[in-house]
Copies of this chain bind each other. A is one copy, B any other.
Amino acid sequence: MKVTIDLIAQKVGVSKALVSLVINGKAKKYGISQLTCDRVMAVVRELNYKPNQMARSLRTGVSNTIGLIVSDISNGFYASMARQLEDLAANSGYNVVIGSTDENINKELRLINILRNRQVDGIILSSSQENSEELENMFKAGFPLVLIDRYFPNAGIPAVVAENSQGGATLAQHLFNQGFRNPLVLNITPSYISSVGERTSGFQKVFTDNSIVPEVVQIPFSDIYNVVYEIFSKKVKEKNLPDCVFAVNNNLATAFLSVLSKFNLAVPDDVALVCFDDLPYFSIIKPSITVVTQPLDVLCSRTFSLLMEQISNQEKVEEHETIFEPVTLITRESSIKIK
């Protein structure tokens, strides 16, 4: 019933080694006659033979599969990332298996282990680790690994990230220029994550350089809406509203807008808003939302190239510097000061 290379060989009346050679396009190299090739391929087609990749992988030590581990694949940003990486991978004959960590360090470590046991050829990781030790060991031991979106300074692990700090600073400068003086930063927990951490610190620096210390609140990854609600509930009661808000990611901005409408507060009149990363609806709604965007396509293609490099050059594992990709400010209505 099952059609294997043995069956093909038997039907054609040759050895399975020969069949393997023909199937893998090595006929020329081994000087196999065209006639033999044709006879083999005829039967291959007739029986619709497809080599068992598992067996092939076991033998060759290459699975043509890569792993993608992010905090949450249902998050639009990571979903788009997954799609782009999937396409890049497909073009190179790779499949991608995904995993979500929910920013949980142990879940991440477990996922890495599982994927390695499954013999993925490499991993693209948006890490939630605080400490990069385990990852460094992995990388130094020669396992192909590229970090995306989040990196570890001086860890020597190849990483491709946006200029998050610059992005935060750009947004801060924009708000400052507009005349806002009482900013609130909605940051995400855990705060050691490089991307959001740098967005926040880049933002803070611009204001502190102007003698203003922005308030920063930490919002747990898992309960964004409720915590933002609590915060504003308190601020409304105390009549202590900021004049502008920096949401370090999409989810935070969406939650903020939702909370604000609950309190019948308007953007930007009551509180202005800027956000990191664009979303389709940000340009549709009134007011449209000012954002800084990162070039996801560039991030993904750079990342994938770095991974492929490692996979094909198993021998020389080099230290890598982190690659920073520039971001872009898109000024919209949500951050324009009413005169």
Contact = CB atoms under 8 A, between A and B. Distances in A.
Contact of A83 (B74, B86, B96, B280): B74
Interface string A60-85: 00010100000011111001101110
A303 to B, nearest CB: 16
A54 B58 contact: yes
A23 to B, nearest CB: 12
Chain A interface residue count: which class? 35 or more
B63 A86 contact: no
Contacts of A261: 284, 286
Contacts of A95: 97, 99, 114-115, 118
Interface stretch (A7-15, A45-53, A153-161, A194-202): A45-53
A53 B83 contact: no
A5 to B, nearest CB: 13
Contacts of A115: 95
Nearest to A288: B261
B97 A65 contact: yes
A281 B82 CA distance: 22
A46 to B, nearest CB: 16
Interface in A208-264: 254, 257-258, 261
B283 A286 contact: no
Given A73-B79, A83-B100, A254 B53 contact: no
Contact of A73 (B54, B86, B97, B117): B86
A214 to B, nearest CB: 25
A55 B18 CA distance: 24
A83 B52 CA distance: 28
A302 interface: no
B58 A55 contact: yes
Contacts of A254: 280-281, 284
A99 B51 CA distance: 20
A177 interface: no
A53 B258 CA distance: 46
Given A96-B97, A97-B97, A281-B285, A117 B52 contact: yes
A295 to B, nearest CB: 16
A149 to B, nearest CB: 15
A222 to B, nearest CB: 14
27 contacts: A52-B58, A52-B119, A53-B118, A54-B54, A54-B57, A54-B58, A54-B118, A55-B58, A65-B97, A65-B118, A72-B83, A73-B79, A73-B83, A74-B79, A75-B79, A76-B76, A82-B98, A86-B99, A86-B100, A96-B97, A97-B97, A98-B98, A254-B281, A258-B283, A261-B284, A279-B281, A281-B285
